Structure 1
Amino acid sequence: MSLLFKIKSFKELSSQELYQTLRLRSEVFVVEQNCVYQDIDNKDQKALHVLGYYNDELAAYCRLFDAGDYFDYASIGRVIVAEKFRDKKWGNNLMIEAIAGIKQNYDKSQITISAQMYLQKFYESHGFVKTSEMYLEDDIPHIEMKKS
């Protein structure tokens, strides 16, 4: 059992893919984390979207940005695995795909992320190191992390 990954620009997303993406982001970041915030942030148009499908269902997602779009380094954001699939540990597959996607599409290996603090060890397992003190983003503890 594994995921089928696609990486697409905003313009390449079908209306179905966009709907699935926004629904999954809302389920996790707004409802599950009980956090009212503006998920639709006008950054999707610049991003590459990493879509991980299992049996035609969007199970994992993140978005990628080139260096200079939001950080000095390339970046990965909105990292999600649907709750019902988290026992599969597909977050690791998603991060491997995202890191490879940055290399393949932007020819970059240096990456900055704004990580939810409780996921620090997960991101460290993918080569990221903590580069800031804790800060609140939408009332959720975050840290900046970088991979060289």
Structure 2
Amino acid sequence: RRIVFALAGLDTPEARVTEAARIVEHAFNDFRTVLVAARGEPITEVRVHGGAQRYVGVVAEDRDLHILLPREGVERVRARVVYDSPVPAPVVAGQPIGRLVVERDGLIIQETRLVAASDVPVGPLTARARDGLTELLFGWIPPISFAGDLQ
């Protein structure tokens, strides 16, 4: 972890050294880095409409997602997956699906794009008919969003 700061307004070199040491100690002792999503690791599954499989896994697109959090108040941090549901088939591995949003007290502190982990080809006529009927009957019900706590 790197810490960059500037000190001004202190009268003596000793005061600057003391204050710098206090800031460094605070930064290293009162904060921690949390891995929210590892690149390529499944985060959740999303519904696929008319596909050979009903769900496809999603992963962080291009990097690990780390955030720096104060040790106190971690329980106020939430991670949620945001996407338009259902995702229409066919789905190609690496296709953008949505995003992972990390919030603290309702403010977005970090986000990353999520992509499909695997291919999902168009399903047979019966699967497409089933999904079409389900969408017709229940499509007006908003999807349940995934949200998880960071520990």
Please, what TM-score do these two structures have when normalized by structure 2?
0.22
Which structure carries more relative contact order (alpha carbon 8 Å, separation 6+)? Answer: 2
Which structure features the higher share of strand residues?
2
Q: Greater share of helix residues, 1 or 2?
A: 1
